[in-house]
Every structure is written in structure tokens, then in C-alpha cells.
């Protein structure tokens, strides 16, 4: 249903911009630059409803490139007992679309030392997507990224012979 709404908006937008371009074309004096000026202005105005997502996609890719890896203290990990630290999501500012970083930190239960860590990023849609739907996912780019190697926390902990417990099991409140 959202796809039909987006398609309908796209068609309506192209028609409206085309009518405006035609009206401008008729009002401009007859000169060699009249047609190129109208074509260029049409091409500039057409992507405007998703300009924030176009810019946001570039910013999101740059942010993802800054958080490419899982950090593991392999020498310290074996045999440890860890818990998943409760770290609030962080917003990236300034950004053309809302971008959040979720920090994953597995912390040693006795020393509070970070043993395994990585960041996962997510982006929401631009103003157009938020106005016609819930806006949870961008319309023109994939709005999530995690480290290049697939992250399955359970498999990673098992591979490192690390035991995970809950924070409440060691008396740490959220």
C-alpha cells in the first residue's frame, strides 16, 4: 500500500513539476538558452522531495565506514564471563536524515573491562518518507549497517569460549 502511495506521489510530482516548467518556458523570452534553462531547472527540482535522503545516504555511508570492525580482546576473552552493557543509542548530528548508533559492548563481569565491542548503525527516512508512512526505513538506500563480518553474538561468544550472563545476575541495575 505504501508503494502505491509513493508511486502516486511520484507521478503527481513529475506532472506538477512538468506543468511548472512548461509555464516558465512560455513566459521566458525566445532565446537560445530558454529550453536548456527550463530543462536544467526541471532536473534540479524533480529530486527535491528526496534530497535529504540523497544527502543522508552519503552521510550514512561515511558513518558506516567509520565503524567497520568488531573489536575483540582475544587474549583476554577465553574463559571470561561477560554481560551486555546497557548503553543508550547515540544520534549522529548533523545529518540530513536521523541516524543512530547502537553500541554493543560485552563487558567482563568482574573487572568491567570491555572484551568484545562493535557498533551498529541505522537510519530513518527523510521528511517525505516520514510524512507518508512511519518513516522507519529510508526509501532510496539501505538504512542499516553493521561490521563487515556477520555478527551473531551467540556464535561469537561460543567461538571465544565466553559465557554470557544477564546484568541482573551480578546485581547491576539498568
Task: Tell whether the model's pLDDT for residue 170 goes beyond 80.
Answer: no
| pLDDT value of residue 49 | 86
**How many Å apart are CA 61 and CA 50, to the nearest integer?**
17
Respond yes or no on whether the N-terminal peptide bond of residue 28 is cis (omega within 30° of 0). Answer: no
| pLDDT value of residue 97 | 93
174: confidence class by pLDDT, cuts 50, 70, 90: low
60 or 70, higher pLDDT: 60
Alpha-carbon dihedral sign for residues 145, 148, 150, 154 = negative
Q: pTM here?
A: 0.77
- Percent of the chain at pLDDT above 70? 93
Going by C-alpha positions, the residue among 63, 67, 118, 135 that lies closest to residue 94 is 63
| pLDDT value of residue 63 | 94
Q: How many CB atoms lie within 10 A of CB 152?
A: 10
530543462: which residue's cell?
Answer: 39
For 5-9, 17-21, 132-136, 153-157, which range has the lowest pLDDT when averaged over its residues? 132-136
Which residues is 104 bridged to in the sheet? 118
DSSP annotation of 51 reads: H
**Cβ proximity of 132 and 87 under 8 Å:** no
CA distances, 137 to each of 10, 21, 103, 133, 134 (Å): 18, 32, 20, 9, 8
Calculate helix-pair angle for 34-45, 2-27, nearest 10 degrees. 160
56: confidence class by pLDDT, cuts 50, 70, 90: very high
| pLDDT value of residue 171 | 62
| pLDDT value of residue 8 | 86
Amino acid at each position: 500500500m505504501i508503494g502505491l502511495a509513493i508511486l502516486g506521489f511520484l507521478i503527481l510530482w513529475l506532472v506538477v513539476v512538468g506543468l511548472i516548467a512548461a509555464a516558465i518556458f512560455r513566459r521566458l523570452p525566445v532565446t537560445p538558452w530558454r529550453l536548456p534553462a527550463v530543462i536544467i531547472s526541471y532536473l534540479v527540482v524533480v529530486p527535491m522531495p528526496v534530497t535529504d535522503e540523497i544527502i543522508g545516504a552519503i552521510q550514512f555511508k561515511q558513518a558506516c565506514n567509520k565503524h567497520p570492525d568488531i573489536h575483540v580482546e582475544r587474549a583476554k576473552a577465553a574463559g571470561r564471563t561477560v554481560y551486555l552493557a546497557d548503553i543508550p543509542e547515540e544520534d549522529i548530528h548533523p545529518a540530513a536524515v536521523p541516524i543512530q548508533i547502537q553500541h554493543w559492548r560485552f563487558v567482563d563481569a568482574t573487572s568491567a573491562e570491555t572484551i568484545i565491542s562493535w557498533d551498529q548503525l541505522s537510519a530513518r527516512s527523510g521528511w517525505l518518507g516520514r510524512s507518508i508512512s512511519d518513516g522507519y526505513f529510508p526509501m532510496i538506500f539501505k538504512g542499516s549497517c553493521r561490521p563487515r563480518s556477520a555478527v551473531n553474538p551467540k556464535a561469537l561468544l561460543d567461538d571465544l569460549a565466553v559465557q554470557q550472563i544477564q546484568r541482573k545476575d551480578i546485581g547491576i541495575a539498568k
